[in-house]
Every structure is written in structure tokens, then in C-alpha cells.
Structure 1
Amino acid sequence: MTVEASFQLFLILLAVLAGTALLARRVDVAPAILLLLAGIALAFVPGMPSPELPPELILLLVLPPLIYSAAVAMSWREFKFNLRPIILLAVGCVIFTAFAVAAATHYLIGLPWNVGFLLGAIVAPPDVVAPLAVARKLGIPRRIMVVLEGEGLANDATALILYRFAVAAIATGLFSLPKAIGEFSAIVVGEALFGIAVGWLSLHARHWARDSQIEITLSLITPYVAYWLPEHVGGSGVIATVACGLYVSWNGPLLISAMTRLQGIFFWNLVIYLIEGLLFLLTGFQMRLLYERSKSFPLDDILIAIAIVTVMIVIARFAWTFPAIYVPRMIERIRRCDPAPPWQWAFVLSFTGVRGAVSLAAALALPYALPDGSAFPYRDLILFVAFGVIFITLVGFGLGLAPVVRWLGVARAGRNERFAELESEINARREALDVALKSLESITESRDLSEDVIRLLRARHETRSNQLPNSLDPDAQLLSAAGTDLTHELIEAERQFIHDLLRDGKITDEARRHIERDLDLEEASLANREFRCDVP
């Protein structure tokens, strides 16, 4: 493909990404589902270039920022509190699924054990992008969200380590379980320590730089530094990136400036939006390549293999999740500190086993030949099955999650939780303002300040205090919403007047930009303080 054709395809993908995301919002469907379907449709358009998805693009360029941003957004306290279920799912369920797929494909379609285990390692890790997009809209309980996010952070590491062991076993014909366990433990510990060290170095370098552009550039470099070195020496890189992100999440607020944080949030949101969107589009594009290769395989064999593996990963997740939640609570100490959730929560966790682009990337990364020159066994079949499992789980489970959550009534608990969370947030804001007021009184007593300065600071405090609602009852919410809407209108009137002054030559563009920035920050602050909640 020429450079011009590649650039044209890139522009087409961006346009489709924006249009599909807008359509997804209108029809209330997870964007990942429509993006995958759009990619498949584009792949068969006559004259459309058919780019092959380089595995390195995902495993080395795309995966680190996705994992890092998710880890930074994760609360370390909540991650630590839910460490047991996260590890049981991210490690235990992935290994259990890989063995289950290996056994099913060996006994039902005759795949060798090592090939079946490789296939199991590829399709074992769920992708949380689409389920979380749906779950956030539905308002399911936060603990389910935290467990899903934590599982999504760590399960890729488990799967990629198993994947490397399986490829090495097929290539050499040798496999030692004790050696594999030892290497797995060393990788986990070594990468965790390395990731923490990279996070510490990154934060202090950014704090020393004290320049937003340099700090954001360093933040972009950070996940690649954490990922590439462990991956280069035979690890997964994922655990190091997760550890780095969690360290930055916990320690960053005191070392990152406010200006950098505001700009960095926008920058990373855009980066992740583009990466995830293009990733699902390009995943759909692989359908054309797989279709061309499928002619060498009987269609019945491909469909049977896809059906067996899909059913197996669904059964394996349900069979693992329920015992993983309830069996540990047979111990009184665990049950007393962490009571068992209702079975509906376990069902939702089990139902979110959507597979994504990492599974496809791992399949595409398989070598074409073994060290002795012979073809890699069952490579194309593994590709077909991986894509089929991604398609079925993403579309089926992605579309089915919302009805299942509503049927189980899980969202009701989420609304109660959200109500309590908003109340605690408002109380925290009020207490913080009280602390600031006491600090102002202390400052006025110890410093010689003019009355005008003190009056200005007290007015600022009263304004911020008055913006907080007295309660979250429906009448108060309607009143707060009306005030917010009117404030938006007043800001828009100011904005129009400033534009008129600029047009008439009464102010410069530089002055207009300064005023607009203040108006933009005030408008963004209004959006951040909208305490709206569906009262159960």
C-alpha cells in the first residue's frame, strides 16, 4: 500500500470512527460493537485497501497506553480492597479457561494438547472496553466496575505469559511445569518492582520539569518505558505497566500541577478514544483477510471449532466465577470482613466475558514457521477461531448485557450507591470549604491584608458554598439544574459580547483568548458540579 493510500485510509477510518461513535450514542449501543461491524463492512467495499494488522502495533504500540491509562484511572485503595477477586479472575479464570479450551478442542476436534492450550491462552482474557461502556451507562454497582477494571488490567499479563510458554513448547517440543511456575512468579515480582520504579522516576521527572507540555510528553513515554524493557527480556510488560500506572494514580495528585492535570486529562481521553476506536475498526478489517484464507479450510470445520471454543469460554467463566466469589467466604474471617454479594452480581461478572483485539493480536503474532522450517501447526485455524470468538462475544454479550442487567435489577443497587456517593461528595466539598474559611481567618489574623482583598476572598468562598445543593431530593435537583442552565446562557451572552468587541477591533485576539479561557473553565466547572442523580 502506498503512502498516499495509507493516508487516505487513515482519514476514512477517522471519519467512520466519528460517525459510528455518534450513531452509537443515538441508538444507545456500545461503540465497540458498531465499530467492529463497520470495520467488517468497510473491508468488503470494492477498491478499499486491505491493511494487515501488524501484531507489533498492538502488543508494542497500542497496548501500553491502554493499560497505563486504565491503571492511572483506577483507585489503588479500591484495587487493593478487591485484590482477591481480581486475582482469582485475572489469573485463576484465565488459566482455568485456557485448560478448558485445550481439553475441549483436544477431545472434540482432535487438536494436539499444546496447540489447544495455545488457542486457550489466546481467547482466555476478556476485554473490558465494551462491557464497561455499557455498564457505566447502566449505573451498575461500583464494586462490579472495579473488579472488571482490575481484571482487565491484569488478565492480559497472565494470558500473554501463558501464550509465550505455549509457543515455546510448540517450537521446542519441551515444557516443564515447575520451571514455568518459577518463571511466572519471577516475572510477576520483577515486573511489579520495575513498574513502581518507572512510576517514581516519571513522577519526579515531571515534577522537576514544571512545564505542562514536557510533563505530558513524559507521561506519554512512561507506559512504553514500563512495558518495552520487561517485554524485551522475555516478560509480558503488562504487569510492569499496571504497577507503574497504579503508583502514578496514588502519588500523582501531590506532584502533578493543576494545569498539567487539566491538559493531561483531555490529552489522554483523546488518545484512548482514538486508539480504541481505530483498534476495533482495524479488527473488523481483518475479516477480509481471514475470508480469503478460509478457502483452504472446510467451512464446517471452522464453524464447529468457533462454536466449541465460544461455548467453552462461556461455561468456563461461569463455572469459575461463582465458586471464586462464594467459596472463599466459607472462611469466617473473610465472610465477616467482606460479606457475600447477591448472586445477581456474580452473574453479571460472569456475563461480561467479551473478547477483544488483544486476542486477535496474539493470534496474528504467531510465527509462520517453526525453527526447523516447518509451518506453524494450525496457525490459520487459530486465527479464524480467535476472530469468530471476538465477533460472537462482542456482539452477543455486548448487546445482551443491558437487558440482563435490567432483568436482574442490578442497576437499582447502583443507583442507591450513586445517591450515597453524591451525598458524601457534597459533604466533603462543604467540609473542605469550612477548612478553607478557617484558613482564611487564620491568614487575616497573622498577615496585614487590605479589606478589599479579604472581602474578595470571602465573596469567592460564599459563591462556591452557594453553588452546592442543600440536598439531592428531586425539587432541589430541578432548582440546581435550572440555575446551571441559566448560568450557561449568561456565559454564552458574555462570549457573544467578547466576539463582538473583537470584531469591532476594541480588543486583541490575545485578550479574547484570555477571557474565553476563563469562560471555558467556568463552564467546565459547572459541568463538573452537576449533582444529578436518579433517586431510587
Structure 2
Amino acid sequence: MEIVTLCLFLLLAVVVSGVLSRVLPAALPRPLVQIGLGALIGTAAGIKVELDPELFFLLLVPPLLFLDGWRIPKDELFRDAGAVLGLALGLVFLTVLGLGLFIHWLIPAMPLAVAFALAAVVSPTDPIAVGAVAQKVSIPNRMMHILEGESLLNDASGLVCLRFAIAAALSGVFSLPAALGTFAWMALGGVAAGVGVTWLAINGKFLVARHFGDDVGSNVLVSLLIPFGAYLAAEHVHASGVLAAAAAGIAMTFVGTSTAVGAATRIRRRAVWDMLQFTLNGVIFVLLGEQLPSLFEGAAAALAGTGHDNRWWLLVYVAAIVAVLAALRYLWVWVSLKLTLFRARRQGNDAAASPPRRVVAAMSVAGARGAITLAGALTLPLAMPDGTPFPARDLVILLASGVILASLIIAAVGLPLSLRNLRLPPEEGAAAERDRVRTLTAKAAIAEIERAQHELCGDGDDADRYTDVAARLMAQYRERIDSIGADQGHRDEQAQARVIERKLHLAGVRAERRTLLDLAQRREVGLSLADQLGRDLDLVEARLTRLEA
């Protein structure tokens, strides 16, 4: 009963945070409101949650990483793969090495291996925190895509570094070849597990539905189970479960387009995932806030091992760690951009211009840490092999919590300041590609309406009526093509009232979807645009199908 009550308190806090985030100033992101509510619950209500890191990772992290991987624009992700991998791999390894040495210098009482463990915990950014901060900040699309891709992939590299730092602390031995081999297996095995589980689940469901029928509920439930299956499969073979969940989401974009899923199913599935995303995001940050009071209660004992009794030293340590994190990130981003411009100019692109310094600053302050950092810190063992307490464990958890709060505050304050009145050149080709795709789908709809007209009317007495209705619908599609050619705004959809008109219109919409999917599969249209236009077609098809029934 206590567990049920606790869950209800957490959900109520998430609902209240949604209201408060709209009432409070825009500069205060929802995660900070949720952390504050969680701290209030933990202090005033006397609720104590024993946060099991393994259970936390299994229940809360996979669906959110899966959804982020599913919805992240794939073309932009592949286009900026170099920048994303540089941040997700190179920056993480640089941070672990540089920050680990700095922490050991700053806190000599903390063993070097434990300092590297703390650096590994705070090195990866959190996709949940980055997305939550971005809700109230207008971030340029390309920058947001890079940040999302980085936060999706850097958990694997950070957790591998954490695993080897813990092993070195426990045994006093570190092997670089073993570390590289383990990282390769965790990364490749995680990606393979995520893609494999998604492919098996979606195609297996499609085969069953083709022979025995299908329903909306089972399709939605399968999509909910995929991230957990990918995570467990990867963990079973000692690969990266978090990377498997993200890879499963990315694979959904490609596997899901090859199977027939009704428009009503896609709409309801999207609504379920939107609700789940809001709920789990909120629960994670409320839980994080609930942990803070008990952590700060032990601050004095944690600091005692460093030779300081004043709790203000905790702020000094957190500020120093955050400053070094920001400096390393700024240095990496600046050097990466310079190298990119150098390569572009060597290839003959003399028009490549250096981005404003505020873009580099924005990328530096946007690396928010979140609940995955806290969960990683909590995975530190309680004791050494000889039974003695693990050195500085409480201090590591406390500093990781401080870094989470500081990074969220810095991102909430620094991003609006660095991006204010920033003018960036618009991405070229997006409007032209949209017009081209809408023209192709409209032509396909016209052809399908002509075919359906002859098939439905036959030689009956309603031939003239079918002809009139088909001509009216095809005229609407031709108006779309003409308006695109004349650079006019798109027209509003006209309500369809008669049965014949609905049938022909439905045939045209389905032809549009087939053409759109075919273009996406042949990579003749961007996947992001295909998904956006597909949502519009889903709404039209669902409405027409409901009226037809």
C-alpha cells in the first residue's frame, strides 16, 4: 500500500509541475520545478525512496531513450554524424582523463580510480535533461539535433569508463586493451541487440496480423515492450542496454515504414507515447529531487574524509568541477569547428564561414546532466573486496548531484543569454523539398482517383455522379499543384460529406501514403519530412475511415 501511495504522490507532483512550469517565469525549466517538488516531498512528507540503480535503469530509462531515438531526425543525425560521434566519444574520453586528474588534484583524499569514476559519471550529457531544458529555449534546429544525438550515444562511453574505473578501484589493475575491447563489444552488441529486437518484434507482429487480424491495442503494446526487450537482451550478453534502447528507437523509423500500420493506430500510438514521455520525464526528476535531502544530510560526513568540515567546501568542489567540464567542452567544440572549417576550405569551399562565438558558448552550456548521472553514481559498490567501505562513495554521489543541479541551472540561464537575437542563415532546400514531395503525392492521388473511379462506377447508373465527384477531387489536388507552382500558401482541407466522395478521397490519401513511403525507402525524401507529412495523412485517413464506418 505504501508503494501505491508513493507512486500516486510522484504522479501528482508531475501534474503539479506541469502547472507550475507554465505559471513560473519562462527561464525556469520544468526539471528544476520537478526537482524542487521532489525535495519538498522528501522533506515535508517524510517519504524515503530506496533508489535501486538497476531497477531505475530498467523501468524508466529505456522507454525514454527509445522514444528519443525514434523521433530524432535521422537525416540530420547522419549528416552531422562526425560532430555527434566526436562529442559522444572523444569528448567523453577527454573529460574522463582531464577531469579525473583534476578531481584527484583538487581532492587528494579521493583515490585516483575513484576520481576517474566520478569523472565518468558526470561526463555524458542526459537526453532527458537536454530535451526538458530545450522546451523553454528556442535552440537552432541543427544545434538541437547534434545535442540530441550526442546525449543518445555518449551514455555507452561514459558507462564503460565508469565500469573500468570501478574495476581499477577494486583491484588496483587497469588494462587499456581490455577496456577498448569491452567498449567495442558493449557498443556493437548494444546496437545489434536494439536493431535485432526491433526487427523481430515489428515483422513478427506484422506476420501475425496478416494471418489472424490486428488491433490497435496490441500494436501500441508491442511498441511499449520493444525498448525493454532491447535493454534486457543487451544486458544479458553484457552489452550496453542504454545504447540498445536508443538503437531500437532509431531502427523503428526504418523497420516501421516497411509494414502496414493503420492511421488510427499511428495516431493513438503517438498519443500514448506523448503521455508516457511526459510522465516518465517528470517521475525521474521528482525522484532525483526526493533523493537530495538525504544526500545533503550526509554532506558533513562525506566532507570529513577530505579534511574539511564546512559544507561550503561542497559548493567549491561542485563549482570547480562544473567549470572544468564547461572549459573542456568549450575547447572541444571550438577545436572541432576549426577543423571542420579547415577541411571545408581545403576541399574548395571558400564560402565556409566561422560560426558566431555565441554558438560555441551555447554548445558549451547546453551539456545538461540528469538522472542517469545520479543512477550511475549510485552503482558504485558499497564495500571493497576486503570488506572496508568503498572510498569516498558518499562524496561522489553528493558531487554528482551538485553537478546535475548546477548544469541544469547553467543551461536554463546560459542558453537564452547566448542565443538571444542570434541570427543564423536558414537551412536551404527545406521548402523546395516539401513542395516537391507534396506535388509528387498529389499526382499519385490523381492517378489513383482516376483508377478508383472506373473501378467503383462500372457501368451503373451512377457513372455520371462518380465522374463528377472524381473530377471535383482531382481538381482539388490540381489546385494544390498549381498553388505550389505559384508559390502560394497551401489551401485548407475541404470537408467531405458524401459517401462516394469519401471513398475516392480515401483512395487518394492512401495513394499519397504509398508514394511517400516509397520515396522515403528509396531515400529520395528526408525521413523527417516524410514523417511530418505522414502525420498529416494519418489525420485525414483516420477522419475519412471513421466517417466511412
Deviation at 1:196, TM superposition (A): 2.1
Deviation at 1:476, TM superposition (A): 6.2
Native 8 Å contact 2:457 2:466 kept in 1: no
The code of the aligned residue for 1:375 comes to: P
Q: Is the deviation greater in 50-59 or in 372-381?
A: 50-59
CA offsets, 1:155-206, max 9 Å, x none? 1111111111111111121110122112212322233233222221122022
Structure 2 residue 284 is the aligned partner of structure 1 residue 271: no
| Aligned equivalents of 1:447, 1:70: Cα separation in 2 | 44
Task: Identify the residue that residue 265 of structure 2 maps to in structure 1.
Answer: 260
Task: Identify the residue that residue 501 of structure 1 maps to in structure 2.
Answer: none
Structure 2 residue 465 is the aligned partner of structure 1 residue 452: yes
Q: Is the deviation greater in 374-383 or in 240-249?
A: 240-249
Give unpaired runs (5+ residues) of structure 2.
Answer: 304-308, 496-537, 544-549
Native 8 Å contact 1:30 1:130 kept in 2: no
Structure 2 residue 393 is the aligned partner of structure 1 residue 394: no
| Aligned equivalents of 1:341, 1:469: Cα separation in 2 | 40
In structure 2, which of residues 198, 207, 219 is the aligned counterpart of residue 215 of structure 1? 219
Task: Identify the residue that residue 319 of structure 1 maps to in structure 2.
Answer: 331
| Aligned equivalents of 1:180, 1:245: Cα separation in 2 | 27
Q: Is the deviation greater in 445-454 or in 136-145?
A: 445-454
- In structure 2, relative to structure 1, the CA distance for the partners of 1:366 and 1:328 (3 Å cut) is same
The code of the aligned residue for 1:48 comes to: G
The code of the aligned residue for 1:69 comes to: L
Task: Identify the residue that residue 434 of structure 2 maps to in structure 1.
Answer: 425
Q: Is the deviation greater in 455-464 or in 136-145?
A: 455-464
Task: Identify the residue that residue 294 of structure 2 maps to in structure 1.
Answer: 289
Structure 2 residue 76 is the aligned partner of structure 1 residue 72: no
- In structure 2, relative to structure 1, the CA distance for the partners of 1:524 and 1:317 (3 Å cut) is farther
| Aligned equivalents of 1:357, 1:140: Cα separation in 2 | 22
1:2-41 matches, within 5 Å, as 3=1, 5-26=2-23, 27-28=25-26, 29-41=28-40
The code of the aligned residue for 1:253 comes to: T
| Aligned equivalents of 2:417, 2:468: Cα separation in 1 | 55
Deviation at 1:255, TM superposition (A): 1.1
Task: Identify the residue that residue 368 of structure 2 maps to in structure 1.
Answer: 354
Structure 2 residue 233 is the aligned partner of structure 1 residue 229: yes
Task: Identify the residue that residue 490 of structure 1 maps to in structure 2.
Answer: none
| Aligned equivalents of 2:485, 2:402: Cα separation in 1 | 47
The code of the aligned residue for 1:304 comes to: V
| Aligned equivalents of 2:51, 2:410: Cα separation in 1 | 24
- In structure 2, relative to structure 1, the CA distance for the partners of 1:335 and 1:305 (3 Å cut) is farther
| Aligned equivalents of 1:260, 1:209: Cα separation in 2 | 16
| Aligned equivalents of 1:457, 1:7: Cα separation in 2 | 58
Task: Identify the residue that residue 305 of structure 1 maps to in structure 2.
Answer: 317
Q: Is the deviation greater in 295-304 or in 363-372?
A: 295-304
Native 8 Å contact 2:193 2:233 kept in 1: no
Deviation at 1:429, TM superposition (A): 2.4
Task: Identify the residue that residue 92 of structure 1 maps to in structure 2.
Answer: 90
* Aligned-partner SS, 2:298: helix
- In structure 2, relative to structure 1, the CA distance for the partners of 1:15 and 1:295 (3 Å cut) is same
- In structure 2, relative to structure 1, the CA distance for the partners of 1:458 and 1:20 (3 Å cut) is farther
Task: Identify the residue that residue 48 of structure 1 maps to in structure 2.
Answer: 46
Task: Identify the residue that residue 443 of structure 2 maps to in structure 1.
Answer: 434
CA offsets, 1:243-274, max 9 Å, x none? 22222212312314023221211111111111
Task: Identify the residue that residue 527 of structure 2 maps to in structure 1.
Answer: none
The code of the aligned residue for 1:265 comes to: R
| Aligned equivalents of 1:113, 1:73: Cα separation in 2 | 40
The code of the aligned residue for 1:432 comes to: T
Per the normalisation by structure 1, the TM-score is 0.81
- In structure 2, relative to structure 1, the CA distance for the partners of 1:89 and 1:426 (3 Å cut) is same
- In structure 2, relative to structure 1, the CA distance for the partners of 1:432 and 1:138 (3 Å cut) is farther
Q: Is the deviation greater in 105-114 or in 252-261?
A: 252-261
CA offsets, 1:19-63, max 9 Å, x none? 221232343342112112222233221x43122322123322211
- In structure 2, relative to structure 1, the CA distance for the partners of 1:137 and 1:306 (3 Å cut) is closer
Deviation at 1:369, TM superposition (A): 1.1
1:18-167 matches, within 5 Å, as 18-26=15-23, 27-28=25-26, 29-45=28-44, 47-110=45-108, 111-135=110-134, 138-167=137-166
Give unpaired runs (5+ residues) of structure 1.
Answer: 488-519, 526-536
1:367-386 matches, within 5 Å, as 367-386=381-400
- Name whichever structure is richer in helix by fraction: 1
* Aligned-partner SS, 2:49: coil
- In structure 2, relative to structure 1, the CA distance for the partners of 1:93 and 1:469 (3 Å cut) is farther
The code of the aligned residue for 1:94 comes to: V
1:465-480 matches, within 5 Å, as 470=483
Per the normalisation by structure 2, the TM-score is 0.79
Deviation at 1:355, TM superposition (A): 0.8
Native 8 Å contact 2:156 2:186 kept in 1: no
Deviation at 1:524, TM superposition (A): 9.7
Structure 2 residue 361 is the aligned partner of structure 1 residue 364: no
The code of the aligned residue for 1:240 comes to: A
Deviation at 1:375, TM superposition (A): 0.8
Native 8 Å contact 1:75 1:250 kept in 2: no
| Aligned equivalents of 1:468, 1:140: Cα separation in 2 | 33
In structure 2, which of residues 242, 247, 257 is the aligned counterpart of residue 243 of structure 1? 247
Deviation at 1:152, TM superposition (A): 1.2
Task: Identify the residue that residue 515 of structure 1 maps to in structure 2.
Answer: none
Deviation at 1:456, TM superposition (A): 3.8
Native 8 Å contact 1:329 1:335 kept in 2: no
The code of the aligned residue for 1:8 comes to: T
| Aligned equivalents of 2:444, 2:208: Cα separation in 1 | 31
- In structure 2, relative to structure 1, the CA distance for the partners of 1:190 and 1:15 (3 Å cut) is closer
Native 8 Å contact 2:185 2:239 kept in 1: no
CA offsets, 1:371-392, max 9 Å, x none? 2211111100001100001011
Native 8 Å contact 2:127 2:148 kept in 1: yes
Deviation at 1:452, TM superposition (A): 3.3
Task: Identify the residue that residue 405 of structure 1 maps to in structure 2.
Answer: 419
Native 8 Å contact 2:53 2:376 kept in 1: yes
- In structure 2, relative to structure 1, the CA distance for the partners of 1:300 and 1:22 (3 Å cut) is closer
Task: Identify the residue that residue 202 of structure 1 maps to in structure 2.
Answer: 201
CA RMSD of aligned residues (A): 3.3
| Aligned equivalents of 1:472, 1:11: Cα separation in 2 | 55
The code of the aligned residue for 1:190 comes to: G
Native 8 Å contact 1:328 1:334 kept in 2: no
Deviation at 1:395, TM superposition (A): 1.8
The code of the aligned residue for 2:320 comes to: I
| Aligned equivalents of 2:359, 2:465: Cα separation in 1 | 57
Task: Identify the residue that residue 285 of structure 2 maps to in structure 1.
Answer: 280
| Aligned equivalents of 1:260, 1:185: Cα separation in 2 | 38
The code of the aligned residue for 1:142 comes to: N
Deviation at 1:142, TM superposition (A): 2.0
Native 8 Å contact 1:356 1:390 kept in 2: yes
Native 8 Å contact 1:161 1:184 kept in 2: yes
- In structure 2, relative to structure 1, the CA distance for the partners of 1:398 and 1:58 (3 Å cut) is farther
Deviation at 1:90, TM superposition (A): 0.6
